[in-house]
Amino acid sequence: MTVEVPRALADVPRLRTLAEVVELVGTVSPVYVRFSAGPEVDATSVSRDHESGCLLPGLSTNPLDPEPWWDRPLEHWVARQLSQYAHHMTQDRFPWVLTGEVTGRGPDCEPLLVDTVPVASIAPAAIHEARDVYRRVFDVGDDGT
């Protein structure tokens, strides 16, 4: 899949591997990932809960920083976070890393951000690599019941 990176992301790093994403998360905090048409489009739109139709008070994102209880490698956390939402990656929507102020939580308890700043874009190859790591190190689909 070839996705053209919007102008708003032309001046930020393009992360091409999972290792590059992990390195960024290890040096910049807090950071979040969003799958969308990019910061230019997001600046003029709002996130919406698709089930209820409610407008959300910020952009729906997912944290790339691990929780304090996480006792596994950072690579595993990042791979899981990227893989959980990779289905949102399409020709018109791609993953990008951002930071901003958390203004609330969405219906899936995801952080909602305002005053966002683009940090990096993520190449599809890094997402594919994250999916491979995710499938290799986790019991994918095990809901604990």
Residue-wise pLDDT for 98-111, tens only, equals 999 999 999 999 99
Is residue 117 in a domain? yes
| Mean pLDDT across 64-68 | 97
Is residue 111 in a domain? yes
Is residue 89 in a domain? yes
Is residue 120 in a domain? yes
Residue 13 identity (one-letter amino acid): P
- Ranges of beta strands (E only) in the chain are 14-15, 32-36, 59-60, 62-63, 94-105, 111-122
Domains: count for the chain: 1
Is residue 95 in a domain? yes
Strand 14-15 to strand 111-122: parallel, antiparallel, or no bridges (unpaired)? parallel
pLDDT recorded at residue 56: 96
Is residue 44 in a domain? yes
Is residue 96 in a domain? yes
State both tokens at 135. Answer: 């499938």
Position 89 confidence tier, pLDDT thresholds 50, 70, 90: confident
Question: CA 8, CA 42: separation in Å to the nearest integer?
Answer: 11
Is residue 145 in a domain? no
pLDDT at 1 over 50: no
Question: CA 130, CA 54: separation in Å to the nearest integer?
Answer: 31
Domain containing 67 equals: 13-137
pLDDT at 5 over 70: no
